[in-house]
Amino acid sequence: MGRLTGKRALITAAGQGIGRASALAMGAEGAEVFATDIDANALAGLDGMETFVMDVRDDASVAEGVAKAAPDVLFNCAGFVHHGTVLDATDGEWDFAFDLNVRAMYRTIRAALPGMLDKGSGSIINMSSACSSVMGAPNRFVYGTTKAAVIGLTKSVALDFITKGIRCNAICPGTVESPSWHERVKALGEEMGSYEAALEAFVSRQPMGRVASPEEIAALTVYLASEDPAFTTGQPF
Ligand code: NAD
């Protein structure tokens, strides 16, 4: 018997990176996993779980996906990293990032919460970042602002439903190795004239002297999805 046996877990952006690692880790702990992404091809190879396309920027797609999954656990993982300072950002980039990184959580939670309230239990896990209200990072103006909003959203949902069996927590990782992170290193490498220098710039600002693996973050999502932290809600981890 796994720590998540009997639980239905809906995961957004499960095609790659932290979302994919979390889908696999939750499945290994016995959860019935509903692994979703906007990219159908990215979901290939996630055996032993239900996979389907769900675009978290689309209300109808979210409503359909949530109805199918009827989740006990909702992991809102989808997000996008905008690169640049306040002087680089455009209104369009700001709107896109807020829609994908924050409003999408409003969409999924609004859709999933009534079912959780009917059951009298539910765990919502929202992907924030160390770059948020926790700390600033270079060239992460839009990104850090959206991820700070995720912490506010998390605390609000947690408090409003604290006596109804619902827990809502946020996770705030430092840099994690993932396909989009590799793209960010490549892009910075082009700016700096060397991939190695870009890699060094990313790694040197990590207090642990290395970046995390997606599996190390997935372990935290399993913990928050389980009943072990039954008295823990509204917290950024
Ligand atoms: P990633 O960025 O490599 O993958 C993102 C996934 O999101 C892709 O599979 C993509 O298809 C999917 N996606 C994009 N738009 C979508 C939409 N509209 N609907 C559904 N899915 C969509 O993965 P990652 O780097 O592990 O990042 C996942 C989350 O973790 C993001 O919210 C990110 O901000 C956050 N995060 C990442 C790091 C890091 O260093 N990698 C650190 C802290 C937080």
Which residues of the chain form beta strands (DSSP E)? 8-11, 32-37, 50-53, 73-76, 122-127, 166-171
CA–chain centroid gap for 125, Å, is 7
Per-residue model confidence (pLDDT) at position 182: 95
pLDDT class for 186, splitting at 50, 70, 90?
A: very high
**Residue 211 DSSP SS3:** coil
List, for residues 212-222, the tens digit of each pLDDT value. Answer: 999 999 999 99
Per-residue model confidence (pLDDT) at position 152: 98
User: Looking at residue 234, what DSSP letter applies?
Assistant: S
35 C-beta closer than 6 A to ligand 1: no
Measured by CA distance, the residue closest to atom 8 of ligand 1 is 13
Per-residue model confidence (pLDDT) at position 89: 97
100 C-beta closer than 6 A to ligand 1: yes
32 C-beta closer than 6 A to ligand 1: no
Which of 83, 129, 210 gets mutated to test ligand 1 (max ligand atoms within 8 A of its CB)? 129
Burial of 193 from C-beta contacts in 10 A (0-12 / 13-18 / 19+): exposed
Per-residue model confidence (pLDDT) at position 30: 98
Residue-averaged pLDDT of the chain: 98
User: Residue 174 and residue 163: Cα distance in Å, rounded?
Assistant: 31
List, for residues 119-175, the tens digit of each pLDDT value. Answer: 999 999 999 999 999 999 999 999 999 999 999 999 999 999 999 999 999 999 999
User: Residue 88 and residue 170: Cα distance in Å, rounded?
Assistant: 28
Choose among 123, 164, 126, 127: nearest CA to 31: 123
Helix and strand numbers (H, E) in the chain are: 8, 6
**Residue range 7-24: average pLDDT?**
98
Which of 18, 105, 125, 129 gets mutated to test ligand 1 (max ligand atoms within 8 A of its CB)? 18
Per-residue model confidence (pLDDT) at position 12: 99
The model carries a pTM of 0.98
Per-residue model confidence (pLDDT) at position 108: 99
Share of the chain above pLDDT 90, in %: 99
Per-residue model confidence (pLDDT) at position 144: 98
